[in-house]
Amino acid sequence: MWNWLHKLGSPKSFFAISERLLPWFGTLALLFLSVGIVWGLLFAPPDYQQGDTARIMFVHVPASILAQSSYMMMASAGVVFLVWRIKLAEIALQCAAPIGASLTFLALVTGSIWGKPMWGTWWVWDARLTSTLVLFFLFMGIIALRSAMENRASAGRATSLLAVVGLVNLPIIKFSVDWWNTLHQSSSFSLTQKPAMPIEMWFPLLLMVIGFYFFFFSVWMMRIRTEVLIRERRADWVKRLVLTMKNKRDMKHAV
Amino acid sequence: MQFDSLSDFIQMNGHGVYVWAVYFLALGVLLLNVLRPKMMMKRFYKEQYIAYTLQAAVSNEKLKDGSGDYLK
Amino acid sequence: MLDVKNLYCERNQGLLFEALSFSLKPGKVIQIKGPNGAGKTTLLRILCGLFGEFEGEVLWDLEKHPIYLGHKAGVKDLLTVTENLNWLCELQQNYPSSDQIKKALIEVGLLAYKDVMAGQLSEGQKKRVSLARLYLINSPVWLLDEPFSAIDVEGLTKLEERMRGYVEGGGSIILTSHQMVNIDQDVTELLLKGANSC
Amino acid sequence: MLIKSIQRELLLSMRRPADLLNPLVFFVLVVSLFPLGISPSDEVLKEIAPGVIWVAALLSTLLSMEVMFRNDFEDGSLEQMSISPQPFLVLVGGKIVGQWLVSGLPLVLMSPVLAVMLALSEEGIKAMFISLLLGTPILSLLGSIGAGLTIGLKKGGALIAILILPLYIPVLILGTHMIIAAEQGVSYSGDVLWLAAILALSISLAPFATTESVRIALSDG
């Protein structure tokens, strides 16, 4: 296992491995997502309280799950980089930040749209929504720091440090937001407790979550591949790749 | 099938607007995430191709035979 | 004392140096030469541990830390000259007495400014305050980045004399400079080709 | 060596009082804006007082964070510190303590005056004093990580806020709740313990992160 991880560590071999993995991840993501959406939209029963707005859950819940786990994955890549100095971990971190931020944004907006029909207000200071908002700020911090530092190498170290600091603080923030919510929100309505879902609704949700994970990995891999090429552009294997790709493309004019 | 007609499916008895807004937004975000790396990759190939051909022209023929064996 | 094994360093676009190896024995002087932007300062900063983004090995075995003189003098404007020197020496775990500091200041010709705020000194004078450390702190290696820039002729001769004495005493120096170093010991040169060459 | 570093830091700040006073003036200014902005009536002020004081405290510590490493970075003494045999962690720790003594402590000492302005009750002022006394060191410790990360960057000001404010949220929540609880006469010992716990965590972890962030900035500079 150890040398496999080491092989994955070197950008060139990662590029080769991801060449084979990417189509698999892509098709699996497409498959899960399409089945999940069709099932959730068409066949799942409307919720007895919320009626059809419950269908928003099939997007909002996976998005907020992904938001948190993408931060976890990004921060663990940061830890790997700070401890073992594997260059690929730093590239992975910098590529995960924008995806994570976009998913957190998606979770935020879908959460507020879900709130509109149910409570009539666009924004509700619910514990989970607020901690997703804070997570969004954390992502923004990472992206702001990455773009502020021109020199790529030290930007990697700085962003990994910030990600790790954020990771250490995340549980504290989560606790304090939840605790703060119970203080001010006397009424018990909130998105936190998932209503006991019948199996017909729970299963499409599971498909959607798995689909989102596959989607996240495939998009993440795509970004890492581009970043690896940019970083290794002086290496011969990149030169050959670019030239061969160009010849192929000239031949059949397809991207 | 929960809905008997297409129009009912779109309305979703009044909540349709929100549900569709969410799904289109989700589609948008997902597509954006997919297209962004593809575009960056394409831009990288274009720029690098020009850079390499320029460099190849300068340090001539070192690359030409190199690219041959990669296809094996 | 120091050996460097196949150092590789790349900065934004250019490749600074690749497979660079050299070693430093006591009593030797190395002068790093090369065009601007060739990475002379970066190499020096790698040697003293300031710069982290490089591959390869830098192996020091010293009992005392080297003295590093960078482009920035490291002198605080809000402290007087003596306070600055006291602080800089404490950093290197030397605790000089006040007359040792006086003697050092005489060597660099700044005795009159002993209790003057460093802020009022010119850049050249601030550099000489930093150079005064060479008389105060005994350290096996000196890493000097352009030591001769912004120094007047009289200061130059004094500095070279000090270097001569130091090298005789078994100390070793790595410096970057465009000028010739006229000290009688042999100066091995290390030429960096520069970023755009390869 | 820690004491020497703190002494040096205090000496430096004494010689340049502007950096000492600016955050404090800012603190007073922000707090006095709210009665003008919202309404001078006591009930309203009492309601918003905890939040106002704490948000003003957050912002003024951020303000003093930016200048913390910048001067030493620009004149090269930070470099000398990082490569000296003295443990860099101790030197950075000294700087953080020095920074807190210069900008955090005066803020705490001055806050009762502002609390009176915001019509806080006697009990509330006591709670606020304790919460700020425990809270401002955390703000300095976490803020110094941000300061370290943004040393070499030109547009550091806003960037520090974006990086570090999310980390301040737990302290803000606990601090304000302490004052509210005290106002209502409820015992707030739970919050004191929580703040003390976070303080202990930050004291033990933050200096390491700050040292690493300064090293990164030095390697960039």
DSSP D151-185: SS-TTHHHHHHHHHHHHHHHHHHHHHHHHHHHHTT
D198 touching A, CB under 8 A? yes
DSSP β-bridge partners for residue C141: C172
**Which residues of A fall within a CB distance of 8 Å from B33?**
99, 102, 215, 219
Number of folded domains in chain C? 1
State which H helix or E strand residue D189 sits in.
helix D189-220
Q: Averaged over A43-53, what is the pLDDT? A: 72
Q: Which residues contact B64 (CB under 8 A, 6 or more apart)?
A: B56
Name which of D16, D79, D216 is nearest C78 (Cβ-Cβ): D16
State which H helix or E strand residue A249 sits in.
helix A236-252
- CA–CA gap between residue A211 and residue A32 (Å, rounded): 5
Range of the domain at C28: 1-66+171-198
Identify from A165, A184, A185 which residue to disrupt to test chain D contact, counting D C-beta atoms within 10 A and taking the largest count.
A165
Most confident option among A11-20, A131-140, C124-133, D147-156: A131-140
Q: Are A110 and A60 in contact (CB under 8 A)?
A: yes
Report whether pLDDT(C194) > 60: no
- pLDDT, residue D193, reads 92
Q: Averaged over B59-66, what is the pLDDT? A: 54
* Terminal-to-terminal C-alpha distance of chain C: 31
- pLDDT, residue C198, reads 36
- CA–CA gap between residue A37 and residue A39 (Å, rounded): 5
CA distance A75 to chain B (A): 20
Q: How far is the CA of A167 from the CAs of A73, B65, D4, in angstroms? A: 10, 49, 34
Q: Are B55 and B66 in contact (CB under 8 A)?
A: no
Report whether pLDDT(C138) > 50: yes
Report whether pLDDT(A145) > 50: yes
Confidence of residue A194 (pLDDT cuts 50, 70, 90): low
**Which residues of C fall within a CB distance of 8 Å from A150?**
12
- pLDDT, residue B15, reads 72
Beta strands C172-176 and C29-33, pairing class = parallel
Mean of the per-residue pLDDT values of chain A: 83
Q: Given strand C187-191, what is the order of strands in its sheet?
A: C67-69, C141-145, C172-176, C29-33, C187-191
A230 touching C, CB under 8 A? no
List, for residues C52-91, the tens digit of each pLDDT value.
Answer: 778 888 888 888 888 888 888 888 888 888 888 888 888 8
Report whether pLDDT(D151) > 80: yes
- pLDDT, residue C197, reads 40
Q: Averaged over C124-128, what is the pLDDT? A: 85
Higher pLDDT, A238 or D163: D163
Please name which of C73, C62, C74 lies closest in space to residue C25, comparing C-alpha atoms: C62
Report whether pLDDT(C164) > 50: yes
Report whether pLDDT(B34) > 50: yes
Report whether pLDDT(A83) > 60: yes
Higher pLDDT, A116 or D143: D143
Name which of B23, B33, B67 is nearest A59 (Cβ-Cβ): B23
- 3-state class (DSSP) for residue B25: helix
Name which of A109, A240, A245 is nearest B45 (Cβ-Cβ): A245
Residue C179: what residue type? Answer: Q
- pLDDT, residue A8, reads 62
Q: Is residue C139 part of a domain?
A: no
Q: Are A220 and A66 in contact (CB under 8 A)?
A: no
- pLDDT, residue B70, reads 36
Name which of D149, D169, D209 is nearest A145 (Cβ-Cβ): D149
In this complex, do A114 and B44 lie within 8 Å of one another by their Cβ atoms?
Answer: no
Most confident option among A24-33, A120-129, C65-74: A24-33
Region class of B10: left (phi > 0), else alpha (psi between -120 and 50), else beta: alpha
Q: Are D110 and D57 in contact (CB under 8 A)?
A: no
- pLDDT, residue C92, reads 83
In this complex, do A177 and D153 lie within 8 Å of one another by their Cβ atoms?
Answer: no
**Which residues of D fall within a CB distance of 8 Å from A165?**
145, 167, 209
In this complex, do C91 and D81 lie within 8 Å of one another by their Cβ atoms?
Answer: yes
- CA–CA gap between residue D31 and residue D25 (Å, rounded): 10
Q: Is residue C72 part of a domain?
A: no
Q: Is residue C34 part of a domain?
A: yes
Q: Given strand C2-10, what is the order of strands in its sheet?
A: C15-24, C2-10, C55-60
Confidence of residue C13 (pLDDT cuts 50, 70, 90): low
Which of the residue ranges C33-42, C81-90, D62-71 would you say has the lowest mean pLDDT?
C33-42
- pLDDT, residue A71, reads 94
Which of the residue ranges A27-36, A222-231, C52-61, D93-102 would you say has the lowest mean pLDDT?
C52-61
Chain C, nearest residue to D80 by Cα:
C74
Beta strands C15-24 and C2-10, pairing class = antiparallel
- pLDDT, residue A4, reads 64
What is the pTM for the complete model shown?
0.86
- CA–CA gap between residue C174 and residue C60 (Å, rounded): 13
A151 touching D, CB under 8 A? yes
CB pairs under 8 A between A and B: 113
User: Which chains border A (3 or more CB–CB pairs < 8 Å)?
Assistant: B, C, D
Q: Which residues contact A198 (CB under 8 A, 6 or more apart)?
A: A45
D102 touching A, CB under 8 A? no
Confidence of residue B59 (pLDDT cuts 50, 70, 90): low
Q: How far is the CA of C44 from the CAs of C58, C163, D151, in angstroms? A: 11, 18, 21
Q: Averaged over A83-97, what is the pLDDT? A: 89
**Which residues of A fall within a CB distance of 8 Å from C11?**
151
Task: Extract the runs of DSSP E, i.e. beta strands, from chain C.
Answer: 2-10, 15-24, 29-33, 55-60, 67-69, 141-145, 172-176, 187-191
Confidence of residue A255 (pLDDT cuts 50, 70, 90): very low
In this complex, do C88 and D215 lie within 8 Å of one another by their Cβ atoms?
Answer: no
Do C and D touch, 3+ Cβ pairs within 8 Å? The answer is yes
Q: Domain with C23 in it: what CATH number?
A: 3.40.50.300
Q: Averaged over A154-169, what is the pLDDT? A: 91
- pLDDT, residue D200, reads 94
Q: Is residue C76 part of a domain?
A: no
